[in-house]
Structure 1
Amino acid sequence: MQGRLEDGVVHLPGDARQRFHDSRGYGRPTGGDDLEVAPVEAAHLLSRDDIDGVDGMGLRELLARTGTTLDFVVYKDLRDRGFYLSPAREGWPGVADAAGADFLVYPRGKGPWDGEVEHRVRVVGERESIPVSSLGEVVLAIVDEDGDLTYFDTEGDSPEGTAAEDLPADLDAELLSDRALVWDGVDRLYQRGFFGQRLYGRNADSGPLQLSLLEAAYLARADALAIDEADVVSRGRDVEGDRFDRRLAVYAALREAKTVPKSGFKFGSDFRVYTEFESVDDLSHSEFLVRVVAPDHTFVPRDLSLDVRLAGGVRKRMVFALTDDNGEIDWLSVSRLTP
């Protein structure tokens, strides 16, 4: 069987509908027994010797002419894993929303006629830029320079916890160049709220408490410290510029969501986040790593992979806080996926 390439689709004649769509989920029926398939679907059929060619072209020529090599790598991998999938094209069977995706993948055992989508997949090469605003409710299929595939699931997922907040009032604090010190009345802040760190070391049972500027600003806003929030924020801007305001907005949002954010420096992130907390003595492992980025941030796949792999390696989930200048936050969770 020879296909005909026209207007971005490959027309297959004869009994193509019965052979390829009705039984295996390829393409879009056009009436009768004829079938339209996307170039990547035609390439897959060529690779299986199910069709003889497209306008006399074999697989090599078709991939070169249509520029579908990366799509083919992903399409074949998902087919090999037992999935039926459709190109995300308006008007194709099973495609209700094509925006932001290259393929719609159906649950195993189902096809485009069942009305159920398992994954919305977007194909990217490892050197492409990925606007963070384009992510969420989509699976990234990243093809590296060796042709290997990595899948990342991206979804909106704001952290929520169970930590109860019980703050003291008007504790005397000393504002330093990049932190604050609280000398008296610190047990309640540290033991029951996990604010700061003991100046004498994490295993110390007493002594003054050192607070990050983020913690100090948050506590000053809540009148837990007898210092002016504006002074702390000004000091924070001196240290890290306008980024301090975005990080403070995220820190406050995490506290308001009843989680406990702490420095994520040792993990290469802004925060590590505990969702369950009662006291420092019963401290469990943190569940999330959070990185604060601007809404117009653009990812390089290599950097995204580094963040997600590191988080997964320490059994945490990577979350990005998309934070604008007004402190509005959209949350994006990214994790490795094995389809």
Structure 2
Amino acid sequence: MQPTGDLRGDAVHVGGDARQRFFDSRGYGRPLEGNSIALSRVEAAHLLFRGDLSGVALSDAESDDPTPVGFERFFVDSAAAVDRFAVRYLVYSDLRDRGFYLSPARDPWPGGDADVSDAVDLVAYERGSTPDTGNVHYAIRVVGEREPVPASGLAGRTLAVVDEESDITYFGVEHPEIEGGTDYEPPETLRGVLLSDRVVVWGAPPALYEHGFYGQPLTGRAAAVENALQLSLLEAASLAADGVLHLDEVVAAGDGAAGVGGGASNGAGGANNGSGGANNVDDGEDDTSENDLAAVVARGRTVEGDRFDRRLATYRDLRGRDAVPKTGFKFGADFRTYLDVETVADLPHSEHLVRVVEPDHAFAPRELSLDVRLAGGVRKELLFALTGGGGSEADDDGSDGNAADIEWLSVGRLTP
């Protein structure tokens, strides 16, 4: 005859030889006085389902009948009493079946001693270790597929997503190491023309593209113009922030560039194109790198709003790590990255897909699954840059995007 338990508050107490039977040998619950133990609701439900407990007496049952109930009644009662009980039970049961010992990640359970955030539901111990040894292998956050998940603070956690058919998908979230090896220094000076949504550099040194992988050459059959290079606004802003790029001409933004700002008024520092035509930058005292940067950043904000500042901060952080960020448009991302570029003629495969999000971003599990699946399908690591926009609010030029403003997350599928 298997033992029974009594529900007391949020714990099920089991007496007899329960400590030896469940805690010492199989890592369930927490010890009480003598040989008694307390089980969390998910642990008790799992033991009921396996037939290792014969029943649990519900102290809050509608009737006064003390007869212990089986798994079905206990499961329904717990689902009504405890938030997200059903999905947490499914994950607990799955990981138990995979050979892990687990504990709730809260006091007074053994998992409450683990160094995990309040957002963690369960901790799974390394195979071969028990709750009293405390060697945590996975700190698990359990969510349903429709539940938003805050991105901040998720690093070092395992995300267990339970879909509407009760299948479970696990994601590992870490702080990645991004260390590039691209050894290229841009020239001291470049001169370009700011168009509606890009910059053209005439007479660009070939190494700027071939070794630095900046921009895209203007090419064509029987071209009479050589070394003309188109830079994205992000590339141009970064080079201007470094004092490299100077503008000879600022052309008013056309209708196609007014996606956010509604016009081409560059209020960030002296590049207002109110005439509707071309406005040549003076060669006098105002022809400074600060004004050039302000003009490019203002155009970027006109094209895509304050998202431009976040992407610029991320772009400059990656360049500062000697990695080369290029557009990730074809993959539905902000960037793809190349860690070690020697020459574009012998370009390696890109290693990462990068999505830039705000620090308070919340993942939608369905979208996260899609992003991870796509990145895995093209053999790339999915990175998220939680970016507040660098120093754009302080300096109004977007130039101060530094690593301290960015939290990097790597997200990938995980098989426990």
Per the normalisation by structure 1, the TM-score is: 0.96
Pairing 1:74–2:76 present: no
TM superposition shift of 1:106: 1.0
What SS is found at the alignment partner of 2:322? coil
Residue 236 (structure 2) aligns with? 216
Per the normalisation by structure 2, the TM-score is: 0.78
Listed as ranges, the gaps of 5+ residues in structure 1 are none
What SS is found at the alignment partner of 1:4? strand
Residue 334 (structure 1) aligns with? 411
Residue 166 (structure 2) aligns with? 147
1:159-308 correspondence runs (5 A): 159-200=178-219, 207-227=227-247, 228-308=292-372
> Which AA in structure 2 matches 1:18?
Q
Residue 16 (structure 1) aligns with? 18
User: Deviation string for 1:265-316 (max 9, x for gaps)?
Assistant: 0111100011122121221111111111011111111011111111111111
Please give the alpha-carbon distance, in whole angstroms, between the structure 1 residues aligned to 2:191 and 2:28.
Answer: 70
RMSD: 1.6
What SS is found at the alignment partner of 2:245? coil
Q: Larger deviation: 99-108 or 320-329?
A: 320-329
Check conservation: 1:158, 1:332, Cα contact below 8 A.
no
> Which AA in structure 2 matches 1:66?
S
User: Deviation string for 1:91-135 (max 9, x for gaps)?
Assistant: 322532352211111111211122211110111000111111241
Check conservation: 1:137, 1:156, Cα contact below 8 A.
yes
Check conservation: 1:12, 1:35, Cα contact below 8 A.
yes
Identical aligned pairs, as a percentage? 56
Q: Could you tell me which of 122, 137, 155 is aligned with 2:141?
A: 122
Residue 393 (structure 2) aligns with? none
Please give the alpha-carbon distance, in whole angstroms, between the structure 1 residues aligned to 2:115 and 2:104.
Answer: 11
Please give the alpha-carbon distance, in whole angstroms, between the structure 2 residues aligned to 1:206 and 1:165.
Answer: 22
Check conservation: 1:322, 1:329, Cα contact below 8 A.
yes
Residue 378 (structure 2) aligns with? 314
Residue 74 (structure 2) aligns with? 62
TM superposition shift of 1:60: 1.7
Please give the alpha-carbon distance, in whole angstroms, between the structure 1 residues aligned to 2:347 and 2:371.
Answer: 24
Check conservation: 1:168, 1:188, Cα contact below 8 A.
no
Please give the alpha-carbon distance, in whole angstroms, between the structure 1 residues aligned to 2:411 and 2:173.
Answer: 5
Please give the alpha-carbon distance, in whole angstroms, between the structure 2 residues aligned to 1:239 and 1:186.
Answer: 28
Please give the alpha-carbon distance, in whole angstroms, between the structure 2 residues aligned to 1:336 and 1:41.
Answer: 26
Please give the alpha-carbon distance, in whole angstroms, between the structure 1 residues aligned to 2:201 and 2:125.
Answer: 57
The structure 1 segments of at least 4 consecutive aligned residues displaced by more than 6 Å after TM superposition are none
Please give the alpha-carbon distance, in whole angstroms, between the structure 2 residues aligned to 1:240 and 1:159.
Answer: 27
> Which AA in structure 2 matches 1:209?
L
Listed as ranges, the gaps of 5+ residues in structure 2 are 58-67, 80-84, 248-291, 391-400
Residue 132 (structure 1) aligns with? 151
Check conservation: 2:314, 2:406, Cα contact below 8 A.
yes
TM superposition shift of 1:164: 1.5
Please give the alpha-carbon distance, in whole angstroms, between the structure 1 residues aligned to 2:154 and 2:190.
Answer: 43
TM superposition shift of 1:207: 3.9
Residue 85 (structure 1) aligns with? 102
Between structure 1 and structure 2, the one with the greater Rg is 2
Please give the alpha-carbon distance, in whole angstroms, between the structure 1 residues aligned to 2:209 and 2:70.
Answer: 69
Please give the alpha-carbon distance, in whole angstroms, between the structure 1 residues aligned to 2:78 and 2:205.
Answer: 66
> Which AA in structure 2 matches 1:249?
A
Quickly say closer, same or farther: Cα 1:90–1:206, change in 2 above 3 A: farther
What SS is found at the alignment partner of 1:11? strand
Please give the alpha-carbon distance, in whole angstroms, between the structure 2 residues aligned to 1:97 and 1:114.
Answer: 14
User: Deviation string for 1:210-264 (max 9, x for gaps)?
Assistant: 1100000011122222221111001100000111011100000000011100000
Please give the alpha-carbon distance, in whole angstroms, between the structure 1 residues aligned to 2:180 and 2:73.
Answer: 55
Check conservation: 1:2, 1:53, Cα contact below 8 A.
yes
Please give the alpha-carbon distance, in whole angstroms, between the structure 2 residues aligned to 1:321 and 1:210.
Answer: 26
Quickly say closer, same or farther: Cα 1:308–1:315, change in 2 above 3 A: same
Number of aligned residue pairs: give it: 337
TM superposition shift of 1:72: 1.2
Please give the alpha-carbon distance, in whole angstroms, between the structure 2 residues aligned to 1:206 and 1:317.
Answer: 37
